[in-house]
Amino acid sequence: MMQASPRLALPIKCVVDAEGKLMAADAAVRRLHFGNGGVEGGTIAVPGLLELASLCWRTGLKFERTVHVADKEHDLELWVEAEKRENLVNLSIIGWQERASAPRASSPIRSPELGITQRTNLPVMYLNGTGLILRADPALLGIFSTDCIATPFVQHFRLIDEAVDIAALLRTNDIPGRTKIEHIGSQTRHDVLVDAIKSDDDHLLGARLVFLTDEAKASKAEVDEAPSAPAHPGLGLGRHFATAVRQPLGRILANAETIGSELNGPILEQYSSYAKDIASAARHLAELVSDLEDLDAIDKPDFKVAQEPVEFGDIAKRVAGLLALKAADHQIELSVPDPEIRCHAMGEFRRVLQIVLNLVGNAIRYSPGGSTVTIVIDPSDCSISVIDQGAGVAEEDRERIFTKFERLGRSGDGGSGLGLYISRKLARAMRGDLTVTAADGGGAKFTLRLPSANN
């Protein structure tokens, strides 16, 4: 089979588990994942990679194939190798090329039961051609939760009036104009209109589900009629703005890395250096946009977090997997807790993961090569700590370091000065705290404490 995309000097790698969750990934895959609405520790939000990983997992065979990734700004053609090893699927992107935009999809073929005006007042959900949920109105996410995004429709819903599932209907192109579905989790039933989405050459791309039931319509009305948020000290950067900024940044980064790696042929050394500087700046801006988006959310008066059981050992394992490549690049050893140690806290899983990722990421960034970053769990204190062997934090700076944009004099290291401020705000929103002390033998020890789930 001939490879369509230019071969990368070094493969871009990621690891996916049996459920499709992203366990470890290089920066380029993480950008694709987050740019498509993915979350830390969640299902990989790149449908093509998720489908390939699922196929590899089911068959146990090694695959090499082209995967197309598209967003609003650009399309990418990736050449990917997938191989199952023990309980994980290893994906290696060995070819990466921006390609011409795919044929634009025509408007959905609408069933005649409702006019266009009526449809705009109803909540909708979009599926791709294999039955993967790509996006949904906030009203529906409020009913079914955000966990359904980038996962198969059949994991959450079943068709009541049909003998097969939605993926089979999409494969046969025999799509009903109206049907009933049942949400498996709540066992609630919903009437939906099904609009087939086709390209201009009549190729089926997916489907749009229009929810007709009163519960979904009421939720849609509540979202639409909600008053605007009161003034708050945030910067006004909403999710839509952040998404719009990430897309051109991702494009700049992909092109700069392509040029800097000389994938399309040799160039003058100074131009390669320029391209690498551009890529580094784009990565820094992308991280800053993510921090500003979080800052905008947590500084709102009505900001809330979920309260659910969170196991610190699981958090430590996931963080080590996600940052293993970064640690290796910095010649840092990551030491994780004994898997027998269990500590169940109360908090919001993705926010706890976000805090510990930030702490370990900082420790890797500021520790000398050849040193160790250690994650420690203390069940008696219901805490998880990150200990490094760096320069440490002076006692007089241990509160100042948690303020906005505080860098303690550091510059040019890619940080935004927001990570620790955001992390402490999140910890306190979960009725816990985040503190820093001196580590034994030098370095810093950051400790996250949360309420125990056993109380």
Same domain, residue pair 288 and 178: no
Identify the pLDDT of residue 268.
73
**Structure-block tokens of residue 184:** 């498996």
Kindly state whether residues 367 and 418 are assigned to the same domain: yes
Cα atoms in the 13 Å half-sphere on the side-chain side of 380: 0
Structural domain includes residue 154: yes
Among 31, 64, 99, identify where a domain stops: 99
Both 258 and 316 in a single domain? no
223 pLDDT tier (thresholds 50, 70, 90): low
Model-level pTM greater than 0.75? no
Question: Between 292 and 447, where is the model more confident?
Answer: 447
On whether residue 293 sits in a domain, the answer given is yes
State whether 315 and 294 are in the same domain: no
191 against 113, higher pLDDT: 191
382 and 264 co-located in one domain = no
pLDDT averaged over every residue in the chain: 77
Higher local confidence (pLDDT), 443 or 138: 443
Question: Nearest 5°: CA angle at 299, between 403 and 362?
Answer: 40
Alpha helices by DSSP H, 233-390: 239-260, 269-298, 312-329, 349-366
Residue 379: what pLDDT?
Answer: 94
Indicate whether 312 and 442 sit together in one domain. yes
At 407-424, the pLDDT tens digits run 665 554 555 678 888 899
CATH number at residue 203: 3.30.450.20
Interval 117-127 mean pLDDT: 71
Between 440 and 239, whose confidence is greater? 440
Same domain, 257 and 348: no
**pLDDT tens-place string over residues 128-163:** 777 777 777 777 777 776 567 667 788 888 888 777
Residue 216's pLDDT band (boundaries 50, 70, 90)?
low
Residue type, 322: L
Q: Are residues 120 and 199 in the same domain?
A: yes
Six token digits for residue 383:
């805490």
- Same domain? For 170 and 288 the reply is no
Q: Give the mean pLDDT of 202-218.
A: 73
The pLDDT value recorded for residue 359 is 93
**427 located within any domain:** yes
Q: Is the pLDDT of residue 236 over 70?
A: no
Supply the pLDDT for residue 125. 85
Domain that holds residue 120: 116-223
- For 282-301, the pLDDT digits (tens) are 666 766 666 666 667 777 77
Q: How many domains does the chain have?
A: 4
Tokens of 42: 């969640």
Asked whether the predicted pLDDT for residue 229 surpasses 90, the reply is: no
Which comes out higher in pLDDT, residue 430 or 206? 430
In a domain, 106, yes or no: no
Per-residue pLDDT of 357-374, as tens digits, reads 889 988 998 899 899 999
The residue among 189, 223, 257 that closes a domain is: 223
Query: In the chain, what is the straight-line distance between the N-terminal and C-terminal CA atoms, in Å?
Result: 59
Q: What is the pLDDT of residue 235?
A: 47
Q: How far is CA 149 from CA 57, 74, 121, 144, 145, in A?
A: 20, 21, 22, 10, 9
**Co-location of 202 and 320 in the same domain:** no
**pLDDT > 80? residue 436:** yes
Strand partners, 124: 210
Residue 119's pLDDT band (cuts 50, 70, 90): low
Residue 273 or 27, more confident: 27
Q: How confident is the model at residue 256 (pLDDT cuts 50, 70, 90)?
A: confident
pLDDT number for residue 231: 42
Q: What CATH number is attached to the domain comprising 398? A: 3.30.565.10
Count CA within 13 A, CB hemisphere, residue 232. Answer: 17
Average pLDDT over residues 436-440: 91
Residue 104 domain-assigned (yes or no): no
In a domain, 110, yes or no: no
Of the pLDDT bands very low, low, confident and very high (cuts 50, 70, 90), residue 321 is confident
Upper half-sphere CA count for residue 42 (Cβ side, 13 Å):
20
Mean pLDDT of 428-446: 91
- Domain co-membership, 43 together with 139: no
- Picking from 71, 99, 127, the residue at the C-terminal end of a domain is 99
Domain contains 232: no
**Which of 67-71, 272-276, 354-358, 383-387 comes out lowest in average pLDDT?**
67-71
CA pair distance 32, 286, nearest whole angstrom:
12
Do 312 and 441 fall into the same domain?
yes
Query: CB 364: neighbour CB atoms within 10 A?
Result: 22
Residue 231: inside a domain: no
Task: Give the pLDDT score at 102.
Answer: 43
